[in-house]
Amino acid sequence: MGAIGEHIAASVILGFDGWSVGHVPQDGFDLIAFDDIGALRIQVKSGGLRVNESYRSPSYHFNNGSGGKKRLRVNEYDILCHCATDVRRCVFYASNTVNKVSQRYPQSYFDNINKEQDTWLRAVQIFREGFC
């Protein structure tokens, strides 16, 4: 599922004006996105809708950590992408705002396609303001 999410995320970013993307799976990040200002390292986390009897309703679950103990390694990437592979939608976060090892979303979270560009623009702005 990881490779599928990486390709979905790359195609989403390519759809934004002024961005190009390279698929470079490395330890810590999966994509590099370029615009006229510079490059950003993107970590993609993929997931599908989970139906679990212990939860009230179906949800998406993403593990933001990596390694055996699933620790946050936000210094290894600039933007985190959560990709819901079943609906082929993404949301983006600046790495300097990621503070949870796992994140859960309701089924409806990925319904709004405009959320992709909105979260991308916000994540890029937050990251660049924090590190420029």
* Average pLDDT across the chain, whole number: 90
According to the model, what pLDDT value does residue 27 have? 79
pLDDT of residue 26: 77
Interval 92-115: pLDDT, tens: 999 999 999 989 999 899 999 899
Percent of the chain scoring above 90 in pLDDT = 68
Domain extent for 77: 2-131
pLDDT at 28: 84
Predicted confidence band at 54 (pLDDT cuts at 50, 70, 90)?
Answer: low
pLDDT digits (tens, 9 = 90+) for 67-85: 666 677 888 999 999 999 9
Which pLDDT does position 71 carry in this prediction? 73
Instruction: Say which CATH number the domain at 66 has.
Output: 3.40.1350.10
Q: Give the chain's domain count.
A: 1
State the average pLDDT over residues 1-11: 92
pLDDT exceeds 80 at position 56: no
Which are the contacts of 31, defined by CB distance < 8 A and separation ≥ 6?
6, 9, 10, 13, 21, 22, 23, 24, 41, 42, 44, 81
